[in-house]
Chain A
Amino acid sequence: MSVPLPYYLGLSAVLFAIGVIGVLSRRNVIVVFMSVELMLNSVNLSLVAYSSFLGDIAGQALVFFAMAVAAAEAAVGLAIVISLYRNKQTVNIDEINILKW
């Protein structure tokens, strides 16, 4: 008898909600980026949980690819942060509004 699947799904939903709060309420672009990572991880958790409970490897393979995409996203995202900071001397997303109409 293992921990039931709904426990994992509930935890995953809670972590996702915390990530959403972080993205919407924080103004530091790096903290926003870390909140996005948290949301990615919470979805990974539910994928692994389903994979183990259904006995299907597809979920874990998907998490593997999600990790690779997250690594690529981290590299490009942080490079954008660095070049933004070089141009505007700020990481506050209220002041980074050059793409706004």
Chain B
Amino acid sequence: MNLHEYQAKELLASRRVPIPNGSICYTPLEALIAARQLKIDKIVLKAQVHSGGRGKAGGVAVLTMNDDIRSRAAEILGKRLVTNQTGPQGKPVSAVLVEEVIPAEAEIYLGVVLERTGGQVTIMASPEGGMEIERLAREFPDKIFTVIVNPLRGLASYQARDLAYRLSNNNSAATEIAKIISSLYQLFLDYDCSLVEINPLVVSGDRVVALDAKVNLDDNALFRHPEMERWRDRSQEDPLELAANKDGLSYVRLDGNIGCIVNGAGLAMATLDLISLHGGSPANFLDVGGGASEQGVTDAMNILLDDDRVKAVFINIFGGILRCDVLARGVIKAFKTREVHLPVIARIEGTNIEEGRTLFSESGLPIELISSLDDAAKLVVEKAKAA
């Protein structure tokens, strides 16, 4: 689960990591009042969306007290922000963070991740902050320092300090940075994060401040942080993806017109690739899961059929735990409760295959069963083109 910048900053503040003075605003008037309350000349309005690249997309505005703050805030709050990460439909701006502008003498990158290969919490830091970490990794790889943390010992103070001295020549700033590094590491563990990032952490006079912050909570661990649910922002998610997740299904919206339902994430991804190879365009990724029940299958079909971009449906099942007869019943139930006029191509294999086939053929539904996966994929592509 991703958090907004202002939520991430709140978490940082709770761990005594310095953040800019400011407040979160939901209306243009609130933004104006918040700006005035900062009692400084220059402020920044930052659109709160789950995406990077907000500045380039017009979601960040630096203003003075002479500018029309209210109108600018209205403009930002009213938009769907389209960044290089949101896709063309963009994301609605939920709120605007109004903060003091802090002149930066130095910009530092700090990040904490669970590194996949070694399976250990890793701190990444660079004195060249302010740019995206991917670009940093490309252009200044030798300016990225990493510390792998021993899970039995945790992060020692000397490790945080050694890293801090490499990030800043200013000794008092380095002392502050060391504390921040330790706080970030602890935050990462305490909330089961997948990422905690400050970019940039700025040194400004005798202040060290987190100008931007990102915290992603690992979805697998949310069950043990139920209080974080209050920060979920559904407006930042695709509605069909949300509906699917509620049913315990994995669903990702794509751009095409062939609705796909598959059991197993790897097979589901492979099915999309196969359809694409044959010139078709999938509308979605949908993994009904290995242990799906009949109702689970029905729910999955309904989510698919709720998507009016879908012109043909492709069902690809290799039944291991999920039996083919259970699948067939689930699909048939979905079709019988609504009028479906779409071509449906199904290729099913595995446990109880014969029962599944019989159920489909006796259902009277226009479901074509093809035994060859390749032929089935080619056929559904044809059907979608013809529709």
Question: Is B a genuine binding partner of A?
Answer: no
Which chain A residues have a beta carbon within 8 Å of chain B's beta carbons?
none
